[in-house]
Amino acid sequence: MLKVYNTLSRKKEDFVPLDEKCVRMYSCGPTVYSYAHIGNLRTYVFMDLIRRVLRYNGYKIKGVMNITDVGHLLSDGDEGEDKMAKAAREQKKTPWEIAAYYTDVFFKDIAALNIGKPEVIAKATEHIPEMIAFVKALQEKGFAYEISDGIYFDIGQFPSYGKLSGQVLDEKEAGARVEENSEKRHPADFALWKKADKNHIMQWDSPWGMGFPGWHIECSAMSKKYLGEVFDIHTGGIDAVPVHHENEIAQNEACAGKKTVNYWMHGEFMMVDGGKMSKSLGNVYTIAQLREKGYDPLDFRFFCLNAHYRKKLNFTFEGMTAAKISRERIMATLYQHKISDAKTEQGVLDNYKSKFLEAIDDDLNIPLALGVLFNMLKEPKSKDIYLLALDFDKVFGLDFDKVTAPAVTEQKIDAPQEVLDLIEKRKEAKKAKDFALADSIRSQIVELGYEIKDTREGVVVTKL
């Protein structure tokens, strides 16, 4: 039985979806004012792992991810410039051009990391009417009030505010991430809709005049639209807990009059060299930069897989190099299994499969599942092991189906895969001192029109 850690209850819980066949899941997506950095991407690898583990358990998924292209201000306290407008001003583009460009790069990045695209991608700017309707409903139910610069959520009307992060409101009042606005009834009241002055680039008409949505309302409005009022899983990075998700809960539950999300799941942060990632420290890396340094995006995915999603993960280039080497070794060993004709007993395979399932179903213990894979790869070479590893790869997402002959590709020999496979098989046969088999494989290679010579540098292939 799949168990997941629920931030709301602070416990691992049995996962029981509302609809036993299809899991409904919402994931907070990127704010598309810049390139996604490796920390952001770790959070989406985590989202992908949940989706894969659910599928491995036989569920279908309806996943929704938002694209924040308006309303995310520089400060969490509803103040400062819109991040999109700032990028537009700096790059002399329109916010729409900025959004289109970085959204496109984001989808290319996640594709390179084998992160499956959620079934529904919802852009905030395409859901303004839904957000206005949500704010109106909150106002009608007495949870929102209007002041000179916008419509605010009245947390005084929502006594359980703070339950996700376990913060007491007075503490929040003191902890001044949320700036003062003298007209607000409580310092932690947050903007649902902000009124815009003439200079504000992105603005829409509303019952409260021209303006733009607060950042949090988009997730409430879009999750409700695509998943219904009550759904199964909500994911995001751990930093979203104290403000963004707390506010989403307040909006959802005030509107619905009941609990609307059953499992809140959060991915821990990625650190760099033991500290925070920040532009001023110059340690905010992108996938493009990792590529420039010679890493494959899947090296980064594998690096992420080696830490449990609820543990901080410290990024270093030494760690990345170790991940790269380790991944190459796995691929090379997998290849040996792939080309072997030997068999493995069913009981042995079943044992690995059940250990793997136990690991992933224990709140996505992927590092443990990798441990099961490593042990399994130490078994005598057999195609059955390769096939089971392919099955595990439905969760790992490391392209195990793309293993090729390592030694030969290093020499950049242009021969068909069939010939490369035979060369590897012959190498194995020679290692096992089965020279009769080695010779017969050589004949097969000749029949395919290629000749091989053993040299000190390895096997050299020529076309006959």
What 3-state DSSP class applies to 195? Answer: strand
Element (H, E) at 252: helix 246-256
Out of 23, 24, 26, 42, name the contact with ligand AMP by CB under 6 A: 42
Question: Each residue of 320-346: b (16+ CB within 10 Å) or e?
Answer: beebbebbeebbebbbbbbbbeeebee
| Interactions with ligand AMP, residue window 62-81 (CB under 6 A) | 68
Residues that bind Zn ion (CB under 5 A): 28, 219
**Contact region for ligand AMP (CB under 6 A) — 37-45, 153-161, 325-333, 446-454?**
37-45
40 binds ligand AMP (CB under 6 A): yes
Alpha-carbon gap, residue 368 to 376, rounded angstroms: 12
| Other Cβ atoms closer than 10 A to 109 | 23
Site string for ligand AMP, 239-258 (x = CB under 6 A): xx------------------
Alpha-carbon gap, residue 165 to 76, rounded angstroms: 16
Q: Which does 211 bind (CB under 5 to 8 A by kind): Zn ion, ligand AMP, none?
A: none
Q: Which does 304 bind (CB under 5 to 8 A by kind): ligand AMP, Zn ion, none?
A: none
Q: Are strands 270-272 and 261-267 parallel, antiparallel or unpaired?
A: unpaired
270 binds ligand AMP (CB under 6 A): yes
State the nearest-atom distance from the C-beta of 315 to Zn ion, in Å: 24
Residue 28 per-residue DSSP state: -
Closest-approach residue to ligand AMP (CB): 237
Alpha-carbon gap, residue 132 to 336, rounded angstroms: 59
What is the amino acid identity at position 176? A
Out of 31, 139, 220, 365, name the contact with ligand AMP by CB under 6 A: 31
7 binds ligand AMP (CB under 6 A): no
Which is closer to ligand AMP, CB of 101 or CB of 269? 269
What 3-state DSSP class applies to 338? Answer: helix
237 binds ligand AMP (CB under 6 A): yes
Q: What sections of 262-365 are H helices per DSSP? A: 287-292, 297-305, 317-338, 346-361
28 binds ligand AMP (CB under 6 A): yes
269 binds ligand AMP (CB under 6 A): yes
Cα-atom radius of gyration of the chain, to the nearest Å?
27
Q: Tell me which residues touch ligand AMP (CB under 6 A).
A: 28, 30-31, 39-40, 42-43, 68, 236-237, 239-240, 269-270, 277
